Amino acid sequence: MGTVRVKIKEGMKPTSEQIAEVKAAAARPHVYDEECPPFSKEELKQFRRVKEIRKEENASNRKQTVTLRLKPQTLERAKSLGKGYTSILSQVIENVLSDPGKLKSLMNN
């Protein structure tokens, strides 16, 4: 049986059924098999929080917030792309800046 997660919204109290499910799950024994053996103390020491690892890996790739002045029509067209339009704008800028020909033609206008 797999893991079941239920997120209770902030400010809401868990139902008696949810509390009973958590208590029942806590009372179940841990079952290990050859595909999922228990970890040794040495193996457990090697674990690190995923958040810490991602923070280290992404430090150089972390996006920065900038202010950009756009024409109202340009912003309207970008927003019409829907959710994630800022990521699309970022990709467009990256593509133009990485192509010397496109960049040169824009600078000559």
Give the integer Cα–Cα distance in Å for 82 and 88.
10
pTM across the whole model: 0.44
71-108 pLDDT, tens digit per residue, is 999 999 999 999 999 999 999 999 999 988 888 888 88
Say whether pLDDT at 1 is over 70. Answer: no
List the one residue out of 42, 7, 39, 40 whose CA is nearest residue 22: 7
